[in-house]
């Protein structure tokens, strides 16, 4: 593969992407009060399409009311009434000749359900409902015209906690061995394949977790082989299970933003905030904005599966894209934070107008989503 291939059309599980740089799923917080997409969200997608992304993966969409995020503005795909408004999103993106993948998720204990969705305590009946909800949401995405669906198995949400040995300590058929922990994904895929035999299903999964008993490379390979066997068509590798390491987003702990905007902290007295300011980075295990931090895990996975592998995380510059694809052998890269500030970044790369993204990995955007919608809260964000 030579450099020119990076910006040429390439198939991903049968979906023709415009190039090998994708927009990674990013929580936009731009649904209306009923959970339907807004014109502002559509314009954000249009800006990304015009900006040259090879294809885009939506921010996570909720498969059920109990699976909804605590963050405001989550797009929902929990009933057939959602198909029509979602189809309008797809139509507008397709008019710009850009593929769009629907990421679907259940937020589990990190969503509105909270402690009612602890993976080690929920019932068989609840698990079966989640399986049914993922299946139904996938069918709705297909009917709305999305080119594929990505199941969210990462970042500490419900399926992430079910498949991780760190969080899943169940003693029944849903826990213990890798096969048991992956059983819920197998069941979801089996149900989907009965409804939609050939529809492309991707997954996003943690390649590493900041716990000794979490997912690491050997476990990732075992899980990847299972995903390939059950009909998953592509795997996106991310990381992160909680805020101890800034979740999936390596980089600066946004201390000032937390003190001014984070719920429960922003209203504290100023003297207490002054005490907290030097402590927060230590509590949250600040990490440097490491480049390509998920590539080692993704490379190991790629060496052991035949299906395409996508990687996200710390890939901000053209040199990172080139080395990840041309040297490390990963099929596609996906970007989140760099495209918040620069939706036209891929075109800048393609036209040699930029070599590096402006994003500093300050992570202010992560905190901004607790009260507002997606934008860069540190640099200058283009109007959407």
CATH value at residue 349 = 3.20.20.70
Q: Do 112 and 244 lie in a common domain?
A: yes
Whether 384 is covered by a domain: the verdict is no
Question: Do 312 and 262 have their domain in common?
Answer: no
Q: Measuring CA to CA, which residue among 306, 324, 302, 328 is closest to residue 315?
A: 324
In this prediction, residue 285 carries a pLDDT of: 66
In this structure, the answer to whether residues 85 and 229 fall within a common structural domain is yes
165 lies in the same domain as 180: yes
Residue 380 lies in a domain: no
Claim to verify: residue 281 and residue 310 sit in the same structural domain = no
Which domain covers residue 278, as residue numbers? 252-286
Asked whether residue 371 carries a pLDDT value surpassing 90, the answer given is no
197 and 57 in one domain? yes
CA-wise closest residue to 153 among 218, 229, 227, 70: 227
Is-above-0.85 flag for pTM?
A: yes
Please indicate, yes or no, if residue 202 is contained in any of the structural domains.
Answer: yes
Q: Are 344 and 50 in contact (CB under 8 A)?
A: yes
Mean pLDDT for 334-355 is 96
Q: Are residues 266 and 124 in the same domain?
A: no
Q: How confident is the model at residue 287 (pLDDT cuts 50, 70, 90)?
A: low
Whether residue 136 sits in one domain with residue 235 = yes
Q: Are residues 302 and 362 in the same domain?
A: yes
Q: Would the CA dihedral through 340, 344, 348, 354 be positive or negative? A: negative
Residue 345 lies in a domain: yes
What are the tens digits of pLDDT across the range 193-252?
999 999 999 999 999 998 999 999 999 999 999 999 999 999 999 998 775 545 677 888
Is the pLDDT reported for residue 3 higher than 50?
no
Domain tally, the chain? 2
Task: Identify whether residues 47 and 187 lie together within a single domain.
Answer: yes
Token pair of 358 as six digits: 């402006």
β-partners of residue 153 are: 205
Residue 199 inside a domain? The answer is yes
28 domain-assigned: yes
């Amino acid at each position: 593969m030579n450099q020119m291939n990076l910006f040429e059309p390439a198939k991903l599980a049968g979906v023709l992407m415009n190039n090998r740089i994708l927009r990674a799923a990013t929580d936009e917080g731009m649904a209306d009060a009923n959970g339907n997409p807004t014109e502002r969200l559509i314009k954000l997608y249009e800006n990304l399409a015009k900006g040259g992304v090879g294809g885009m993966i939506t921010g996570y969409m909720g498969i059920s009311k109990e699976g909804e995020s605590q963050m405001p503005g989550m797009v929902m795909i929990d009933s057939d009434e959602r198909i029509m408004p979602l189809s309008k999103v797809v139509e507008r993106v397709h008019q710009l000749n850009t593929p769009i993948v629907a990421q679907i998720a259940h937020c589990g204990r990190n969503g509105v359900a909270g402690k009612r969705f602890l993976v080690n305590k929920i019932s068989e009946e609840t698990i079966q409902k989640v399986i049914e909800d993922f299946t139904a949401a996938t069918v709705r995405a297909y009917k709305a015209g999305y080119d594929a669906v990505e199941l969210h198995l990462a970042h500490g949400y419900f399926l992430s906690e079910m498949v991780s040995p760190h969080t899943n300590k169940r003693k029944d058929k849903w826990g213990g061995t890798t096969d048991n922990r992956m059983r819920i994904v197998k069941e979801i895929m089996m149900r989907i394949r009965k409804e939609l035999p050939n529809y492309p299903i991707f997954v996003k999964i943690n390649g590493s977790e900041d716990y000794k008993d979490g997912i690491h490379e050997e476990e990732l390979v075992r899980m990847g082989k299972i995903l390939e066997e059950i009909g998953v068509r592509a795997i996106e590798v991310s990381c992160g299970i909680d805020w101890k390491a800034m979740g999936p987003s390596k980089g600066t702990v946004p201390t000032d933003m937390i003190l001014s905007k984070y719920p429960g902290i922003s209203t504290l007295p100023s003297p207490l905030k002054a005490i907290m300011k030097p402590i927060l980075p230590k509590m949250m295990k600040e990490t440097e904005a490491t480049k390509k931090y998920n590539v080692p895990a993704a490379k190991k996975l790629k060496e052991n599966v035949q299906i395409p592998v996508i990687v996200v995380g710390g890939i901000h510059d053209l040199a990172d894209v080139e080395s990840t694809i041309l040297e490390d052998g990963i099929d596609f890269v996906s970007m989140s934070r760099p495209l918040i500030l620069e939706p036209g970044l891929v075109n800048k790369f393609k036209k040699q107008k930029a070599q590096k993204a402006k994003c500093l990995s300050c992570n202010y955007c992560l905190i901004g989503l607790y009260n507002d919608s997606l934008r860069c809260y540190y640099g200058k964000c283009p109007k959407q």
